[in-house]
Structure 1
Amino acid sequence: MAQTLVPHLVNDLGAEQIRIGVKEFQCMGATPPHDHPHVYLDMGDETQLVCPYCSTLYVHDPALAQSESEPPGAVFAATAPPGAPEA
C-alpha cells in the first residue's frame, strides 16, 4: 500500500492567513505542546479553508511547494525525541 505524507501545519505567528502549496493537510494550531487536536482538512475544489479549531485561513498557492508556506515556517517538521530508535 502506497502512503503519502500529509503536511502538518502550525500558526505559531498568529497570522490571519497562511498561503500553502497543498490542498490536503493537517492543522495543529501551534507547535506542541500548545497544539490543538490535529484535524485533517481538504480544500477539495476550493482555494481556501478556515480551520474549525484555530480559525486560521489557509489559502492554496500553486506557486508554493508542499514544504513551503507564506509566511515561512508554517509547515511543521516533526523530529524524534532524543534517544528514540531510528526507523
Structure 2
Amino acid sequence: MADAITPHFHNTDGVDTIFIGVKEFMCIGARPPQDHPHVFLDMGDESEMVCPYCSTLYRYSADLTATQTRPDGMLIGM
C-alpha cells in the first residue's frame, strides 16, 4: 500500500497555470469522460511541471495545502 494519498487535479476550464500545494500529484486533464490517461507527475526539486498530455503548467505554491488550488476547484479527488 502507498504511504501517502496522491491528489488528482483536472483542468476542465482550460487555464494555462494551476498553482498547487504538492509536488507529487496526478493530472487527469478534463473531468471524465473527457479525461486523458491519468499520469503521475513528480516535480522533484523543481517548482513547476508541464503535463505531457494536456500541457497544463502546474506550479508549486508553499502557501497552499494538498487540497487547495489556485484557481479554486481544480482538485478532483485524493
TM-score where L is the length of structure 1: 0.85
Q: Deviations over 1:3-42 (max 9, x none)?
A: 3110000001100000000000000001111100000000
- Aligned position for 1:20: 20
Provide the identity percentage. 53
What residue is the counterpart of 1:8 in the other structure? 8
Q: Which runs of 4+ in 1 moved over 3 A?
A: none
Aligned-partner SS, 2:55: coil
Q: 1:2 to 1:27 in 2, by over 3 A?
A: closer
**2:60 pairs with 1:64:** no
- SS of 2:37's equivalent in the other structure is coil
TM-score, normalising length: structure 2: 0.94
Deviation at 1:2, TM superposition (A): 5.4
Structure 1, unaligned runs of 5 or more: 79-87
Structure with the higher fraction of residues in strand conformation: 2
Which structure's relative contact order is higher, taking Cα pairs within 8 Å and 6+ residues apart? 2
CA RMSD in angstroms, aligned pairs only? 1.3
- 1-structure distance, mates of 2:34, 2:3: 28
Distance 2:3 2:34 in 1: 28
Structure with higher Rg: it is 1
Q: How has the CA–CA distance of structure 1 residues 48 and 2 changed in structure 2, closer, same or farther, with 3 Å as cutoff?
A: closer
Structure 2's unaligned 5+ residue stretches are: none
